[in-house]
Structure 1
Amino acid sequence: MSDTDLLKGLIGCLDLTNLNDDCDSAAIAALCAKAQTPHGNVAAVCIYPRFVAEAKDHLSGTGIKVVTVVNFPDGGEDTVAVEAATRQALADGADEIDLVMAYKALAEGRPGFAETQIVRIKRICGDTLLKVILETGELQDAETIRKAADVALAAGADFLKTSTGKVATNATLDAAEILLTAIAETDKTIGFKPAGGIKTSSDAIAYFDVAKRIRGDAAPNPALFRLGASSVLDAMIASIEGREETKGAGY
């Protein structure tokens, strides 16, 4: 597969994201328009819960999913509040939920709390896709990242996601390797989503290459692989069209 064809496939795996503090209705409209490209639609837009209903209206008939975040970005321990936010997001029409694991509890030696919170949110989600954000850059060491992955998988995560994009260190290829290895060692069909700091076509391809090497992914498949980013889409389109990439700012 040529890099051009691969990038077209990866556009279809992109969760195009706006989780900026100043996001407003105009920005959501622009994001939803941008999500529909001449080279195919992205998989989803990822936005704050308060914009879910608006995004659903903008994307009606496109096949593009609406993803929202809960327990974001802190990965807190008020599970009742997270449950309420999840129920509201689903009522508003969210197609997928990205939950920040209570990663600080896990790092402090309380993995049971983190696991129970995920179990409770998955129970509310039912068949709705649940991606669990591990915040790997804050967990730092490989052993703790692997522990977080195993906890999330045991609790029913449908996807493992690296990062919120709100901390100093977000997605890394080393973290990707750990998460994908954990997934590969299960007998479940679990997706993987690197997020935060993915800026160039080369970045996008590098993460897919790790998934291909470890899991044998033959081609980009949004059921198994997503990219969480706000700025990489422009770079991917530029590369597909033979133009120079400009490294954008943002998630």
Structure 2
Amino acid sequence: MSRMNEGDEAWAQKAMALLELTSLNADDTAERIVALCERAQTPVGNVAAVCVSSRFAGLARRTLDDARAREIKVVAAVNFPNGGASVATVASETQAAVLAGADEIDLVYPFNAHLAGDKQIGPEMIAACKAQCGRPGMLTVTLETGVLRDPQLIHDVCRMVIREGVAFLKTSNGKQIVSATPQAARILIEAIAELGSQVGFKASGNVRTVTEARTYLEMAQARFGPYWLEQKRMRLGGSSLLDDLLMRLGVEA
């Protein structure tokens, strides 16, 4: 594929800097996580973060530190993938990941319990995770918008989560039938704007190409302005997006 024009290349470079390179497979191994951390350091710049299962948080942090890539964050996914309803289990998992070296925690929202009518479990779980994080700005909440489905329900959950004081809202982890969609992303972005919050936004799940990434970047920029497109406000989560970014930027994946 030929190289992009300057405008497209700028978007690809921006996407690279905001990428949260992900490996959240049931059969992940230590070798695979080490390889993920190595891939996160590219000839055209490092990605923003790697997102791994909580059990691999320590390994990922040590691997990146050994490579002198401390600036790449390690995000540990907890309550993954099915959004269980045990607050105690999630608190324990979060504590272990933080102690192992995770820079950030990605909590899968207890969507099934919420759909079954339990509206208190979400705030309780978020509070328990925040208590274990130890400092502000660490907690992402993944809503699994493809499971919640109903736009009004997604909007209501977004507002509740924002009020709990999290760092990021995230569309999905890519393990459900429906993952990130522009429609869901728009709901999250509007909820953030409505509450005048400093909460960031992560588009994740089936964001595989530069074109798809640009859709979400342009959506956020249109609502909040170009300053929003920095790592503390915007992330793009995925495993295969890096391949397309490297190819489009003229680097062998």
Q: TM-score range by the shorter chain?
A: over 0.9
The 1-side partners of 2:142 and 2:72 are apart by 21
Return the match for 2:250 from 215, 221, 241. 241
Counterpart of 2:96 in structure 1 is: 88
Return the match for 1:108 from 96, 111, 116. 116
The 2-side partners of 1:35 and 1:220 are apart by 19
Superposed displacement of residue 115, structure 1: 1.5
Following superposition of structure 1 onto structure 2, how do residues 219-230 of structure 1 map, counting pairs within 5 Å? 220-230=229-239
CA contact (8 A) 1:6 1:220 kept: no
Counterpart of 2:37 in structure 1 is: 32
Return the match for 1:8 from 13, 34, 38. 13
Amino acid at match of 1:81: T
Counterpart of 1:51 in structure 2 is: 56
What SS does the corresponding residue of 1:226 show, helix, strand or coil? strand
CA contact (8 A) 1:195 1:229 kept: yes
Structure 1 residues without counterparts, runs of 5 or longer: 247-251
The 2-side partners of 1:41 and 1:186 are apart by 32
The 2-side partners of 1:236 and 1:23 are apart by 23
Counterpart of 1:142 in structure 2 is: 151
CA contact (8 A) 2:208 2:240 kept: yes
Counterpart of 1:75 in structure 2 is: 83
1:209-245 deviation digits (Å, cap 9, x = unpaired):
11111222346311100011000111011112299xx
Superposed displacement of residue 68, structure 1: 0.7
- Normalising by the residue count of structure 1, what TM-score does the alignment of the two structures yield? 0.93
1:162-221 deviation digits (Å, cap 9, x = unpaired):
112111000000000000000011232111001110111100101111111122234631
Bigger mean CA deviation after superposition, 170-179 or 58-67: 58-67
Superposed displacement of residue 105, structure 1: 2.2
The 2-side partners of 1:83 and 1:242 are apart by 41
Return the match for 1:190 from 199, 205, 218. 199
Q: Does 1:199 align with 2:220?
A: no
Counterpart of 1:99 in structure 2 is: 107
Counterpart of 2:139 in structure 1 is: 130
The 2-side partners of 1:80 and 1:207 are apart by 35
Amino acid at match of 2:190: T
Structure 2 residues without counterparts, runs of 5 or longer: 1-5
Bigger mean CA deviation after superposition, 44-53 or 84-93: 44-53
Counterpart of 2:177 in structure 1 is: 168
Counterpart of 2:23 in structure 1 is: 18
The 1-side partners of 2:97 and 2:130 are apart by 13
Percent of residue pairs identical = 39
The 1-side partners of 2:107 and 2:170 are apart by 9
CA contact (8 A) 2:87 2:124 kept: no
CA contact (8 A) 2:137 2:167 kept: no
The 2-side partners of 1:100 and 1:242 are apart by 34
Superposed displacement of residue 51, structure 1: 1.2
